[in-house]
Amino acid sequence: NAGVMQNPRHLVRRRGQEARLRCSPMKGHSHVYWYRQLPEEGLKFMVYLQKENIIDESGMPKERFSAEFPKEGPSILRIQQVVRGDSAAYFCASSLQGPRGGTEAFFGQGTRLTVV
Amino acid sequence: AQSVTQPDIHITVSEGASLELRCNYSYGATPYLFWYVQSPGQGLQLLLKYFSGDTLVQGIKGFEAEFKRSQSSFNLRKPSVHWSDAAEYFCAVGAVTGGGNKLTFGTGTQLKVEL
């Protein structure tokens, strides 16, 4: 059973371009989470999705950022018109739906975005 | 809102010495608590988790953690550290949201192991 797969592992974008980060959850997992890790900081929650639904996007910047988890295919985190402050590691995690949500999340290797 | 505090940013221990990494949390209900480890340039690996039951939980790689409700703590321990344990360690608390588990992380503790 493959783990959480993220691609690309490294992404370089010029200011103003778009960045698309992909995440394939573990087989059978219906919950996907995106986190951002800025240099020298811990991970910050961005968004939580189930298939075709955004459940909680309280950590997502209001502008330029969007996320989706379609019925078929990977989850996508999209950042439009990137700025230098978007440079960070973006991690995806997935989990099963457990009783009262008490289930662990498995993390991917991350995508390291550099904006030049 | 939940929060996690890891008061030690950096810790250095000698190989073979014991280790304790501190974690304090704030959460309004019974928490789901986790410890993750991150090696440079890598993702996060789950070391152990507490959901309910026995307050002393065993994890992988010889780690254990004790949940103390009265102190709002979930400290990570290992009796004898190996050089390969050098990494960054994150404590996290989970909030139940729509059946899932949204995590709030501490800022991490960087562990250095001296040979």
Q: Give all strands of the β-sheet with A19-24 in edge-to-edge order.
A: A5-7, A19-24, A75-79, A65-68
Is residue B6 very low, low, confident or very high in pLDDT (cuts 50, 70, 90)? very high
CB contact at 8 A, B15 and B115: yes
Question: Would you state the pLDDT for residue B52?
Answer: 83
Which residues of chain B are within 8 Å of residue A47 when distances are taken between CB atoms? none
In order, the DSSP letters of B32-79 are: EEEEEEE-TT--EEEEEEE-SS-SEEE-GGG-EEEEEGGGTEEEEEES
Distance in angstroms (rounded) separating the CA atoms of residues B36 and B91: 6
Cβ separation A98–B101 shorter than 8 A: yes
Of B102 and B69, more confident: B69
Closest chain A residue by Cα to residue B32: A102
Q: Which DSSP letter does residue B16 get?
A: T
**Which of A40, A45, A92 to mutate against chain B (most B CBs within 10 Å)?**
A45
Question: Would you state the pLDDT for residue B25?
Answer: 95
Ordered mean pLDDT values, 10 residues apiece, chain A (116 residues): 88 98 93 90 90 91 96 96 96 78 81 97
Which pLDDT tens digit goes with each residue over B22-81?
999 998 777 889 999 999 888 899 999 998 888 999 999 999 999 999 999 999 999 999
Q: Would strands A10-13 and A111-115 be described as parallel, antiparallel, or unpaired? A: parallel
Distance in angstroms (rounded) separating the CA atoms of residues B57 and B63: 9
Average pLDDT over residues B88-96: 89
